[in-house]
């Protein structure tokens, strides 16, 4: 999509649809009166908006949309009035969601060229730049569709151009920079969504590595792909053993951005199981098709690293993605087997469907060998986290409170909700093995926590946060800037985290 930023009078925009907004006033006869650029549009429409407000058909309540045909009074064919709710409750994430819903509504009406205000700038402390970035992120994310394997007439409706109109020419530079940044962030999440939505027969570990290399090349990021011989030399027993049941060879994908030297070195690790049947401990058939998305953490890490490079952030980043399938066969990993991870630690396998933590153990060890100073991993790791937090929040588990707070703040900036979970030492008792140093599952009780405690054995003293995205990596419906299917969760949070670290540096 082409995105333009212009300064001037919103009423002069020529296109198929124009998006303006209205706040919900608290009380009084002037409740919901159009202000600023919306008032100028209302005047051009002969007071039509004001009349609808007085009639109670437009209230400004959060989520409200009213589509009006301009009938030649404007150069835009349609005007969409967005309700932004109470000014004091406005957030950047609400702007994202409102922009997404507006874009979809106008696309359904056949609009190809959309103009928009910078919604809510100045309200609740939001700057014009923050609002402009949110508008672009929301629009691009809300219009996302995965159409590679399906064509129909509805997909012919495409928004080709978005024009962001800023009234104050003095803010034009800041708004343009924010729009550029918003586009890169949205495209990171979109790239992650594309990877997660691919079927398992297309996106094998080899194909994931090929796509990561292509994305890295475009972003000028170094990409290394390690196959079985190199993994054997490294002693990557976790990744190699999980891959034994598949005819597809495993891959360890390593992306590197930034030069040498001091300062923070961010390590991003993402679980890359391109299809997870559960292995010998096979999953129920119902909904198993969704297990093509068991590499959502990998998609976020790859997409985020490329976005960080596109933003030219002054920070070093190493992303490590262990990629494999988890399938049953005569050579597959079995319950009761003992393997030795890259770190040298022995692991008793209780359940082969607890494979994600086995491959992440090697990836975390490898990231530490690359001398990262801070670690964060994202993984669709446990159904237990879905039971605990549903599909609203990702779970966060950490060994360092300061680093946890930094990651939580990055999630808030991206609008991706994260909830901190306990990591009490008592949970370690549940994963002690009688015949190895550790076992890969502690049973049903506290399953999300014991999975994180398992991973903690492989991070040492490095500040680390584990993000369990099992409940948030996929959406079963269209809402706000989420569309049905993959969400691309944590791609934007990872970028926001790097932005924060670079700013502090």
Residue 76 DSSP symbol: B
Which residues are part of the catalytic machinery?
283, 357
Q: What would you report as the CA-atom Rg of the chain, rounded to the nearest whole angstrom?
A: 24
Q: Give Dmax over CA atoms of the chain in angstroms.
A: 81
90 vs 98: CA distance, rounded Å: 11
Geometric angle at alpha carbon 478, from 90 and 76, rounded to 5° = 65
The secondary structure of the chain in percent helix, strand, coil, rounded to multiples of 5, reads: 40, 20, 40
Instruction: Name the 3-class secondary structure at 223.
Output: strand
| Residue 364 dihedral angles phi and psi, to the nearest 5° | -65, -40
Distance CA 64, CA 193 (A): 28
CB neighbours of residue 3 within 10 Å: 17
The DSSP call for residue 282 is: P
| Spatial separation of the C-alpha atoms in residues 349 and 373, rounded to whole Å | 30
Tell me, letter by letter, the H, E, C secondary structure of 84-153: CCCHHHCCHHHHHHHHHHHHHHHHHCCCCEEEEECCCCCHHHCCHHHHHHHHHHHHHHHCCCCCCCCCCH
Distances 215 to 188, 222, 299, 370, 493 between C-alpha atoms, Å: 10, 10, 11, 21, 19
- Rounded Cα distance between 31 and 33, Å, is 6
C-alpha to C-alpha distance for 149 and 279, rounded to whole angstroms: 28
Contacts of 213 (CB under 8 A, 6+ apart): 223, 225
Q: How many CA atoms lie within 13 A of 131 on its CB side?
A: 22
User: Could you tell me which of 373, 396, 391, 371 has the C-alpha nearest to residue 455?
Assistant: 396
């Amino acid at each position: 999509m082409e995105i333009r930023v212009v300064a001037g009078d919103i009423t002069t925009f020529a296109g198929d649809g124009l998006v303006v907004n209205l706040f919900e006033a608290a009380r009084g006869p002037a409740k919901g009166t159009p202000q600023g650029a919306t008032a100028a549009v209302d005047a051009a429409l002969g007071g039509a908006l004001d009349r609808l407000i007085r009639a109670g058909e437009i209230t400004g309540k959060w989520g409200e949309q009213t589509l009006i045909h301009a009938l030649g009074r404007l150069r835009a064919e349609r005007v969409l009035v967005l309700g932004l709710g109470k000014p004091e409750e406005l957030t950047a994430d609400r702007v994202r969601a409102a922009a997404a819903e507006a874009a979809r509504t106008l696309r359904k009406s056949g609009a190809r060229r959309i103009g928009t205000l910078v919604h809510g700038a100045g309200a609740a402390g939001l700057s014009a730049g923050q609002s402009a970035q949110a508008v672009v992120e929301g629009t691009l994310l809300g219009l996302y569709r995965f159409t590679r394997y399906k064509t129909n007439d509805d997909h012919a409706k495409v928004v080709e151009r978005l024009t962001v109109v800023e009234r104050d020419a003095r803010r034009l530079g800041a708004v343009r920079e924010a729009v550029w940044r918003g586009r890169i962030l949205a495209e990171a999440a979109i790239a992650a969504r594309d990877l997660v939505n691919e079927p398992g027969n297309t996106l094998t570990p080899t194909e994931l590595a090929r796509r990561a290399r292509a994305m890295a090349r475009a972003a000028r990021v170094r990409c290394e792909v390690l196959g079985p011989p190199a993994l054997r030399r490294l002693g990557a027993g976790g990744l190699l053993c999980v891959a034994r049941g598949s005819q597809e060879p495993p891959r360890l994908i390593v992306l590197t951005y930034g030069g040498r030297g001091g300062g923070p070195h961010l390590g991003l690790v993402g679980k890359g199981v391109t299809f997870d049947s559960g292995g010998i401990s096979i999953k129920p058939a119902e909904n198993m098709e969704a297990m093509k998305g068991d590499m959502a953490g990998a998609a976020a890490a790859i997409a985020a690293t490329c976005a960080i490079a596109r933003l030219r952030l002054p920070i070093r980043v190493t992303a490590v993605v262990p990629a494999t399938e988890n399938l049953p066969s005569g050579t597959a990993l079995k319950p009761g087997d003992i393997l030795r991870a890259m770190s040298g630690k022995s692991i008793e396998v209780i359940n082969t469907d607890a494979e994600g933590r086995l491959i992440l153990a090697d990836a975390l060890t490898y990231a530490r060998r690359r001398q990262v100073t801070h670690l964060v991993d994202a993984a669709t790791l446990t159904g237990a986290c879905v039971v605990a937090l549903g599909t609203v929040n990702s779970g966060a588990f950490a060994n360092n409170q300061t680093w946890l707070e930094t990651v939580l703040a990055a999630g808030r900036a991206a609008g991706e909700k994260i909830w901190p979970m306990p990591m009490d030492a008592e949970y370690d008792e549940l994963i002690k093995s009688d015949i190895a140093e550790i076992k890969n599952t502690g049973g049903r009780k506290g399953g999300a926590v014991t999975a994180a405690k398992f991973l903690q054995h492989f991070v040492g003293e490095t500040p680390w946060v584990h993000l369990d995205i099992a409940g948030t990596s996929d959406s079963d419906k269209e809402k706000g800037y989420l569309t049905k299917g993959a969400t691309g969760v944590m791609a934007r949070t990872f970028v926001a985290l790097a932005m924060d670290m670079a700013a502090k540096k």
